[in-house]
Amino acid sequence: MYEERPSRLTGAVVWQRTPEHPENLTGVRPVLPDGCMDLLFSEGRLLVAGPDTRPYVPEGPPRAWAGIRFFPGTAPALLGVPAHELRGTRVELTDLWPAARVRRLRDRVEAAPDPATGLEDIALDRAAEAPPPDPLLRRLVECLDASRPVAATAAELGIGARQLHRRCLTAFGYGPKTLARVLRLQRALALARSGVPYAETAARAGYADQPHLARDVRQLAGMPLGELLGG
């Protein structure tokens, strides 16, 4: 079972997943690219989920997870690591921070009313210490999520294409064109899940046509749209 709620940290989401049938591996669903990074806790371990460009399928039997999903582009400043160094990975927090510090944080999560709240408290404390989020990054996400072309977005933000690409690698883990594709995928999935026909979904999400939507879903989600929604 999956549950989520808005975090007290602006733009973030706190979530928990518990396996209903731990012996049933068919219930494991891929994690799809969404432009975000997560701080995770499971079975006494603190991990970081880097930005994805392909579906990620958790290994091993289903188990309980808790996490805080950061708004796109905000996690690297909190973690102190450029996003492109974590692209497509799940790494132990001890690979990024001193082991003694991580042990204290793990104990704090385990002592919290629930792990998700413990992770949220850690993120809030870290956000209070870190520099404020770059407002340009939020504007960038808003522009691309509104289907504006990358070149037009760069011009609107007043930065060159190369500088935009460098900043995107640091903040999101990949360039602005990939970020635009990921955001478009999420728009399309939201529309299709609400019952919008596929052809209309493609048009409203910013695809050239329905075959374009189908190709992008296969590339980014690893399965046809109908199979994805069926899960």
Angle of CA points 153, 154, 156, to nearest 5°: 60
Same domain, 113 and 170: no
Instruction: Tell me the residue type at 65.
Output: W
Give the model confidence (pLDDT) of 150-177 as tens digits: 999 999 999 999 999 999 999 999 999 9
Same domain, 28 and 77: yes
Same domain, 114 and 165: no
Answer with the residue of higher pLDDT: 31 or 26.
Answer: 31
Give the model confidence (pLDDT) of 93-116 as tens digits: 999 999 999 999 999 999 999 999
What residue numbers bound the domain in which 65 lies?
A: 2-129
For residue 197, what is the domain's CATH number?
1.10.10.60
Same domain, 24 and 120: yes
| pLDDT given for residue 20 in this prediction | 72
Same domain, 225 and 146: yes
Give the model confidence (pLDDT) of 58-93 as tens digits: 887 888 999 999 999 999 999 999 999 999 999 999
* Domains identified in the chain, total number: 2
Same domain, 38 and 119: yes
Q: Could you tell me which residues are beta bridge partners of residue 31? A: 56
- Ranges of H-type helices in the chain: 75-79, 99-111, 115-129, 135-145, 150-157, 161-172, 176-193, 198-205, 210-221, 225-230
Give the model confidence (pLDDT) of 208-220 as tens digits: 999 999 999 999 9
Same domain, 154 and 76: no
| pLDDT given for residue 28 in this prediction | 64
Same domain, 67 and 152: no
Same domain, 68 and 149: no
